[in-house]
Amino acid sequence: MTGAESLIVLPTYNEAESLRGVLARIRVAVPDADVLIVDDASPDGTGRIADELAAGDPGVRVLHRPAKDGLGSAYLAGFALAAAEGYRFVVELDADGSHDPGELPTMIALASDEGADLVIGSRWVAGGTVVNWPWLRRAISRSGNRYARWMLRSRLQDLTAGFRVYRTAVLAGLDGAVVSSHGYCFQVELAWRIERRGRRIIEHPIAFVERATGRSKMHAGIVGEALWRVTAWGVALRSGRAVPGEAP
């Protein structure tokens, strides 16, 4: 801990080719922020690279977990550390180069100066875009977001986005007992629960760039998880039953 206000959590699983470049871009964009790499024993040696990077930079730490346990739980571990150490803001950022750290000064300012509790780097608001995605991927993201928005009665355009700045205090109580999804659905669930608590959310337009190296961990199971959970929550909302994880 260096007295920084922001902790950037970088989950990694087999990102050996991109991690150095992403960290270098973070250092240029937000030199004052601290970084926590959460690596799940990546077979490609990402964890070793992370240790090397941390050895040369007092603002970088690595949390090694023994096995792949999903994006959601990696972030929850990072959020817990941010809360325990008193960081004001905690940042979600993919380690595959899809998210431009150059947006972070603006996104953090929206939280610290404009009072947003959550800033979402959004592809689907005016000014946002996706670079190098095939039409199918684009269609899944767009229609999935439209469905979730309608089902969950949300006003957010990009519920699945993984580039975010949270005021650490808004995450209090949103731990593994409440937020139980893993892939995309983790992002949907967290944004939606924060929205339902009446917190201030700003969607900041970003250009999302498809990863140039490594392999996506997206698969049909992740889309399936999101579909059935969003549907179940939407049904609970409409039937007047308590939403799982919320007090009736």
Ligand X SMILES: Nc1nc2c(ncn2[C@@H]2O[C@H](COP(=O)(O)OP(=O)(O)OP(=O)(O)O)[C@@H](O)[C@H]2O)c(=O)[nH]1
CB 132 within 8 A of CB 213: no
Q: Smallest distance, Å, CB 160 to ligand X? A: 8
Q: Smallest distance, Å, CB 1 to Mg ion? A: 28
Q: What are phi and psi of 140, to 5 degrees?
A: -65, -45
164-167 β-sheet, strand order:
60-64, 34-39, 6-12, 89-92, 164-167, 118-122, 201-205
**What is the biggest distance separating any 2 CA atoms in the chain, rounded to whole angstroms?**
55
Q: Smallest distance, Å, CB 181 to Mg ion? A: 17
Binding status of residue 8 toward ligand X by CB under 6 A: no
**Residue numbers 227-246 binding ligand X by CB under 6 A:** none
199 SS3 class? coil
- Candidates 74, 76, 170, 191; binder of ligand X (CB under 6 A) is 74
**Residue numbers 103-162 binding Mg ion by CB under 5 A:** none
Could you give the string, one character per residue 81-110, with x where binding to ligand X holds by CB under 6 A and - elsewhere?
-------------xxx-x------------
The H-or-E segment that residue 92 falls in is strand 89-92
**Residue least distant from ligand X (Cβ):** 216
Please name every residue paired with 121 in a beta bridge, in sequence order, or none if there are none. Answer: 204
Judged by CB, which is closer to ligand X: 29, or 173? 29
Residue 242 DSSP one-character state: P
Residue with tokens 């940042």: 91
Q: Smallest distance, Å, CB 86 to ligand X? A: 23
- Of 69, 6, 21, nearest to 42 by C-alpha is 69
Judged by CB, which is closer to ligand X: 21, or 236? 21
Binding status of residue 70 toward ligand X by CB under 6 A: yes
Give the one entry of ligand X, Mg ion, none that residue 11 binds, where binding means its C-beta sits below a cut-off of 5 to 8 angstroms depending on kind.
Answer: ligand X
68 SS3 class? coil
Give the one entry of ligand X, Mg ion, none that residue 132 binds, where binding means its C-beta sits below a cut-off of 5 to 8 angstroms depending on kind.
Answer: none
Q: Smallest distance, Å, CB 225 to Mg ion? A: 17
* Cα–Cα distance measured from residue 208 to residue 181, given in angstroms and rounded to the nearest whole number: 23
Could you give the string, one character per residue 76-95, with x where binding to Mg ion holds by CB under 5 A and - elsewhere?
------------------x-
Binding status of residue 40 toward ligand X by CB under 6 A: yes
- Of 67, 69, 75, 59, nearest to 1 by C-alpha is 59
| Residues contributing to the site for ligand X (CB under 6 A) | 11-13, 15, 38-40, 68-71, 74, 94-96, 98, 162, 211, 216-218
